[in-house]
Amino acid sequence: MKLGVVGLPNVGKSTLFNAITQTSNAQAANFPFCTIEPNTGMVMVPDHRLDVLDSMYHPKKVTPTTVEFVDIAGLVKGASHGEGLGNKFLSHIREVDAIVHVVRCFDDPNIIRADCSSDPVSDIETVNLELIFADLETVQRRKDKAQRALHGGDKMAQAENALCDRMIQHLSDGKPARTLEMTDDEKAIADSWFLLTTKPVIYAANIAEEDLGKDEKDVKDLDKVHAIAEQEHAEMLVISAAIEEEISQMDEEEKNEFLADLGIGQSGMERMITACYHLLGLISFLTCGEDECRAWTIKKGTKAPQAAGKIHTDFEKGFIRAEVVPFDTLQELGSMQACKEKGLVRSEGKEYVMKDGDIVLFRFNV
């Protein structure tokens, strides 16, 4: 999973990126475009189930799944026509699976604000419109190509041309492509266009330190960001980049005490990853043994053979069955042997759809 962190200059993107990835790779400075080339960092996905398996099996290695975060340069009005870093910025967004759009929801006279804006709604519209303008150009090119093919009697071109017309109207109304109602066939066509506004979005509302832990109704502008996220079928996350920066420098015990004092159970990073999993329709299954306990990320709806293929292609080719027990059952009984004795380890075949938290042993033969 590759997440692109975007937003206007000086909204806290690079501060948040450094805190989440626990690095200082991204320069965070009080002027636009201090980030030019994208910075990347790998983050281990927190999973308490691995801690339980670790204490149960004492393996040589514990391997969580990972997320790659990409800190992308701040966007400005006119980027779709080359302003700021223009097309370079947009090309970096094309390479990610989902967008974390950082929105400034705090006032600080010491930090320069892009376009002198003091309204997060305006900030969101600036970024979204640039992505929409870029997509309009893409769809218009596809329409021109489809119309040329129509003259040659290409039936597929007819369907593509019709979708282009609908998409152009939708984008021209200032709406992202992901909110256009499409059939499965139309979605397949749109996927081939690699549009920017089809990518899932999480709005990360960056609030002041003193506002973290407050009721969201009492924090300025959060209701506006929430309304936009709801309208666009996007996720929203309230976060303080400054607090995340502090947390990143603490050990586990200090961090837990600090979060408890603030009245929040999880760090912003943990909540962000959870939101990303939900947004992208991802789940994790686990494998365990004396050599390694490991989490594996798959799409919801993945069947057992394809899940086995995540481990090794031979597992999928020679799949025989999956021996499965839910994590909660294993934790309650304390061992796989105890689960087997009670007949709670299921033998599942090729049509079994994996569930989040499945503990699995794959049987295969090649």
Question: Looking at residue 351, what is its pLDDT?
Answer: 97
The residue-averaged pLDDT of 107-120 equals 63
- Of 288, 248, 232, the residue nearest 47 (C-alpha): 288
- What share of residues in the chain are helix, strand, coil (percent, to 5)? 45, 20, 35
pLDDT digits (tens, 9 = 90+) for 126-156: 889 989 998 999 999 999 999 988 887 778 8
3, 99 Cβ separation under 8 angstroms: yes
Q: What whole-number distance in Å separates Cα of residue 318 and Cα of residue 303?
A: 14
- Residue with the bigger pLDDT between 84 and 332: it is 332
Q: What whole-number distance in Å separates Cα of residue 119 and Cα of residue 221?
A: 8
Question: Looking at residue 222, what is its pLDDT?
Answer: 93
- Of 196, 203, 193, the residue nearest 223 (C-alpha): 203
pLDDT digits (tens, 9 = 90+) for 262-291: 777 788 888 888 888 888 899 999 999 999
132: exposed, middle or buried (Cβ count in 10 Å: 0-12, 13-18, 19+)? buried
CB atoms within 10 A of CB 95: 12
142, 221 Cβ separation under 8 angstroms: no
Task: Please report which confidence band the pLDDT of residue 260 belongs to, taking 50, 70 and 90 as the band edges.
Answer: confident
Coil, helix or strand for 321? strand
Q: What is the DSSP letter of 354?
A: P
User: Does the structure show a pLDDT above 80 at 212?
Assistant: yes
- Specify the pTM: 0.82
The residue-averaged pLDDT of 72-81 equals 58
Q: Residue 292 is encoded by which pair of tokens? A: 């390694």
**What is the residue type of 262?**
L
Q: What whole-number distance in Å separates Cα of residue 290 and Cα of residue 61?
A: 8
221, 105 Cβ separation under 8 angstroms: yes
Place of tokens 């206007």: 8
Task: Please report which confidence band the pLDDT of residue 209 belongs to, taking 50, 70 and 90 as the band edges.
Answer: confident
User: Does the structure show a pLDDT above 60 at 117?
Assistant: no
CA angle 225–229–234, rounded 5-degree value:
145
Strand spans (E) along the chain: 2-6, 39-44, 61-63, 66-71, 98-104, 201-206, 235-239, 282-287, 292-299, 319-326, 346-348, 358-364
